[in-house]
């Protein structure tokens, strides 16, 4: 059994941000639990060919750890993973991390005022838990009839086998989301045949990528101010887009850009029709690629929109009854976003899990704290995702909120803290009101942003600066605390 004042779970962007800032504030009694053997979260796990960020690297990085060396506007996965490894090294996090510790269950111990955390290796106790589980960390794989009988390679894009060879193979790709549009152009030239099973066409716009010139890197090296200005420029450009996301008719200009992009690359009108979305752009995540449409236009690619009826030992049978012989099946089917797997094993004060508490619609005050789950802070919790900018901005805002709350606890000698139910309700109500009329709820699509009740519990529906402002200003009356022994 091990005790720590604070336990962070996860070493992706969120876990690292929390750990660094806590250390900078002088916190030493800190353990970080990581289920795998390295840091990096999704940027460690997703190493499929073509994996890269679709937010500019100078914004998709920590404000407290600028990297003048980003090689491209949108850096590739290995570089982002290295960046996170470097941050963990540079800020002295390694000594705090317990690798290969997967959390299996967490119980709030009311008598102790602590969380009991059961991992695959041992038990931990902590007064404060920061859950940085990641919103996109558990692959979602549809249960297709007969898939267990398939004798070829079958895997999800987040579990890409390092030795997978596409050369000469007949491959079925299921899904056409953010991941699939990155790996399809990489495997298409190698594959013998590529059958792309598309349920809903995504909107795809040009990717304005390119290497960052050496002189520019040098200037960032010399002047942090220049680099900060670069970050600010990208930040402002992305914030401005919120106006259109909140007023969907303004998205039409972007739709024209996407249509033109499609027309330029795909000459076959039937294929073009298959690839044209019937919902407003922005309703689902807008995808960036210059190579996706050209890849789909190649002779060895078929876009299949009839759906999959079943899988046999060597083929996929589509819903029209056609048997398509394949050697490999790759799922680009996304992640368990609104199900939030951790919610099933976190038991709060009443002995109920977060999942039971949420009833299909995750809710948290400031997307971070949940009434009835004292001293628990969720990073990238409900309504803190973004459809328009870098989630790192939101993570950092949440971390500052946590630091403020912890300071308040210390000052008031509080043993526990949690949001008052009415404050949490008010936050949800305001968030729902902000969401009304946005493209994410009125754009005519069925997206993974929506939970099983139809509520968008994934995204923050407005400007990130409005969230930052709310998060930075701790409304003490919104929190309820109890006094006790555990305060240092």
Residues in 334-363 at the binding interface with ligand NAP, rule: CB under 6 A: 334-335
Cα 34 to Cα 165, 312, 339, 345, distances in angstroms: 30, 37, 21, 16
Q: Whole-number minimum distance, CB 125 to ligand NAP, in Å?
A: 34
Q: Identify which range of 169-177, 213-221, 316-324, 406-414 contacts ligand NAP by CB under 6 A.
A: 169-177
**How many angstroms separate the CA atoms of 363 and 392, rounded?**
20
Radius of gyration, CA atoms only, the chain: 23
Residue 384 engages ligand NAP in binding (rule: CB under 6 A): no
Cα 383 to Cα 16, 78, 102, 164, distances in angstroms: 20, 28, 25, 36
Q: Binding residue for ligand NAP (CB under 6 A) from 131, 185, 282, 332?
A: 332
Residue 173 engages ligand NAP in binding (rule: CB under 6 A): no
Whichever of 2 and 71 has its CB closer to ligand NAP, that residue is 71
Q: Identify which range of 31-39, 117-125, 177-185, 258-266 contacts ligand NAP by CB under 6 A.
A: 177-185
Q: Identify which range of 147-155, 249-257, 326-334, 355-363 contacts ligand NAP by CB under 6 A.
A: 326-334
**Binding-residue total with ligand NAP (CB under 6 A):** 22
Q: Binding residue for ligand NAP (CB under 6 A) from 11, 88, 176, 380?
A: 176
Q: Identify which range of 329-337, 360-368, 411-419, 475-483 contacts ligand NAP by CB under 6 A.
A: 329-337
Residues in 234-293 at the binding interface with ligand NAP, rule: CB under 6 A: 285
Residue 462 engages ligand NAP in binding (rule: CB under 6 A): no
Residue 175 engages ligand NAP in binding (rule: CB under 6 A): yes
Q: Whole-number minimum distance, CB 156 to ligand NAP, in Å?
A: 8
**How many angstroms separate the CA atoms of 223 and 220, rounded?**
5
CB 132 within 8 A of CB 125: no
Nearest in space to 63 (alpha carbons), one of 214, 208, 224, 222: 224
Q: Identify which range of 174-182, 349-357, 401-409, 420-428 contacts ligand NAP by CB under 6 A.
A: 174-182
Cα 468 to Cα 331, 399, 422, 475, distances in angstroms: 36, 10, 21, 13
Whichever of 176 and 462 has its CB closer to ligand NAP, that residue is 176
**How many angstroms separate the CA atoms of 51 and 69, rounded?**
19
Phi, psi angle pair for 420, to nearest 5°: -70, 140
Whichever of 4 and 14 has its CB closer to ligand NAP, that residue is 14
Q: Which residues of the chain form contacts with ligand NAP (CB under 6 A)? A: 52-55, 136, 142, 157, 174-180, 199-200, 285, 332-335, 448
């Amino acid at each position: 059994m091990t005790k720590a004042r604070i336990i962070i779970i996860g070493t992706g962007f969120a876990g690292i941000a929390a750990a660094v800032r806590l250390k900078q504030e002088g916190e030493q009694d800190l353990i970080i639990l990581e289920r795998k053997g390295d840091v990096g979260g999704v940027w460690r796990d997703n190493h499929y060919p073509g994996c890269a960020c679709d937010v500019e690297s100078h914004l998709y990085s920590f404000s407290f750890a600028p990297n003048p060396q980003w090689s491209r506007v949108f850096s590739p996965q290995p570089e982002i993973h290295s960046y996170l490894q470097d941050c963990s090294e540079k800020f002295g996090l390694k000594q705090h991390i317990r690798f290969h510790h997967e959390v299996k269950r967490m119980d709030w111990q009311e008598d102790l005022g602590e969380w009991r955390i059961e991992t695959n290796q041992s038990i931990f106790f902590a007064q404060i838990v920061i859950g940085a589980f990641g919103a996109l960390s558990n692959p979602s794989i549809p249960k297709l009839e007969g898939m267990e009988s398939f004798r070829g390679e079958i895997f999800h894009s987040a579990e890409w086998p390092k030795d997978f060879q596409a050369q000469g193979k007949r491959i079925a790709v299921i899904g056409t989301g953010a991941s699939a549009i990155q790996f399809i152009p990489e495997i298409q030239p190698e594959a013998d045949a590529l059958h792309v099973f598309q349920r809903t066409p995504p909107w795809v716009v040009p990717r304005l990528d390119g290497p960052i010139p050496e002189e520019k890197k040098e200037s960032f090296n010399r002047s942090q101010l220049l680099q900060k200005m670069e970050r600010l420029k990208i930040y402002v450009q992305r914030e401005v887009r919120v106006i259109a996301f909140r007023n969907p008719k303004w998205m039409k200009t972007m739709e024209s850009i996407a249509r033109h992009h499609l027309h330029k690359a795909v000459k076959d009108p039937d294929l073009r029709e298959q690839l044209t979305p019937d919902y407003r752009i922005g309703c689902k995540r807008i995808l960036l690629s210059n190579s996706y449409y050209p890849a789909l236009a190649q002779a060895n690619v078929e876009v299949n929109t009839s759906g999959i009826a079943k899988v046999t030992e060597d083929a996929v049978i589509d819903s029209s009854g056609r048997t398509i012989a394949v050697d490999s099946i790759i799922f680009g089917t996304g992640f368990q976003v609104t199900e939030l797997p951790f919610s099933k094993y976190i038991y709060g004060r009443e002995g109920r899990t977060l999942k039971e508490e949420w009833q299909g619609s995750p809710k948290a005050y400031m997307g971070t704290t949940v009434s009835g789950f004292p001293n628990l802070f969720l990073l990238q919790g409900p309504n803190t995702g973004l459809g328009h900018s870098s989630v790192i901005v939101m993570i950092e805002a949440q971390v500052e909120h946590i630091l403020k709350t912890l300071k308040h606890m210390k000052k008031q000698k509080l043993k526990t803290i949690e949001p008052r139910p009415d404050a949490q309700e008010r936050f949800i109500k305001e968030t729902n009101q902000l969401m009304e009329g946005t493209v994410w709820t009125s754009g005519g699509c069925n997206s993974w942003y929506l939970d099983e009740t139809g509520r968008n519990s994934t995204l923050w529906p407005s400007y990130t600066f409005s969230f930052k402002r709310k998060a930075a200003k701790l409304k003490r009356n919104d929190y309820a605390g109890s006094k006790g022994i555990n305060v240092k």
